[in-house]
A and B are shown apart, each in its own frame.
Chain A
Amino acid sequence: GAGVSQSPSNKVTEKGKDVELRCDPISGHTALYWYRQSLGQGLEFLIYFQGNSAPDKSGLPSDRFSAERTGGSVSTLTIQRTQQEDSAVYLCASARTRGNEQFFGPGTRLTVL
């Protein structure tokens, strides 16, 4: 596709359920990033992939959060046993490689009831 796409665009879930958020980066981009945007806060870095490896997971807030990337392309962010404080917009970005311009997807708005 022409840009970074994310699905779903909106997700409402009940506390305690697991959710999966998907990111399709721009074709050929080796670097992929997940960020979280909470109300009134800036973007908080979660995890960085180079290819299928995640050399930097330092932003994941707890062990309920995990992510994987397959085929050097699609990435999935999984949140287990969701909590209300997980409610946020989750943004994915890709770049040709680390240090290059990051292109952002439209985000997934997650609401945990």
Chain B
Amino acid sequence: GEDVEQSLFLSVREGDSSVINCTYTDSSSTYLYWYKQEPGAGLQLLTYIFSNMDMKQDQRLTVLLNKKDKHLSLRIADTQTGDSAIYFCAESLTGANNLFFGTGTRLTVIP
């Protein structure tokens, strides 16, 4: 089956940029997503990128996709304490009904 991997933890200082990385194995992806999960809450879709794009910017968020290396990243500029959460990357594949999720990266923002 599809394997989506992320590092488990990331700590940054408030005001710095955060970069969360994700790798995947199946190249038949259609869309790639970043979700945010705050304690006790469901997953909130932050942004997504179509698989034939290599970059998408949305306010403080920048998504980079390197399809050749099967690598996706999420950059959060000027990270705030409210950005502390678990971030999941997810992939939709051609013909699949569900999304394939990574393990999630817990981002801790230090004031």
- Which B34-63 residues sit within 8 Å CB-CB of chain A? 35, 40-45, 48
B103 A40 Cβ-Cβ under 8 A: yes
Q: Which of B41, B44, B98 has the most CB of A within 10 A?
A: B98
- Which A45-72 residues sit within 8 Å CB-CB of chain B? 45, 48, 55-56, 59
B92 A40 Cβ-Cβ under 8 A: no
A105 B98 Cβ-Cβ under 8 A: no
Q: Which of A33, A91, A101, A104 has the most CB of B within 10 A?
A: A104
Q: How far is the CA of A40 from the CA of B105 in the complex (A)?
A: 10
Tally of chain A residues near chain B (CB < 8 A): 25
Judge whether A99 is part of the interface by a CB distance below 8 angstroms: yes
B41 A106 Cβ-Cβ under 8 A: yes
Q: Which chain A positions have C-beta within 8 A of B104?
A: 42
Q: Which chain A positions have C-beta within 8 A of B40?
A: 106
Judge whether A102 is part of the interface by a CB distance below 8 angstroms: yes
Give chain B's interface residues, CB within 8 Å of chain A.
Answer: 4, 6, 8, 35, 40-45, 48, 88, 90, 92, 97-104
B98 A45 Cβ-Cβ under 8 A: yes
A42 B103 Cβ-Cβ under 8 A: yes
Q: Which chain A positions have C-beta within 8 A of B98?
A: 33, 35, 45, 48, 56, 59
Knowing A40-B103, A42-B4, A42-B88 are in contact, say whether A48-B97 is a contact too (CB < 8 A).
Answer: yes
B43 A45 Cβ-Cβ under 8 A: no
The 4 A-B residue pairs whose C-beta atoms are closest, nearest first, are A104-B42, A45-B98, A42-B101, A43-B101
Shortest Cβ distance from A48 into B: residue: B97
B99 A102 Cβ-Cβ under 8 A: yes
Q: How far is the CA of A41 from the CA of B102 in the complex (A)?
A: 8
A40 B8 Cβ-Cβ under 8 A: yes
Q: How far is the CA of A59 from the CA of B97 in the complex (A)?
A: 11
Q: Which chain A positions have C-beta within 8 A of B4?
A: 42
B97 A56 Cβ-Cβ under 8 A: yes
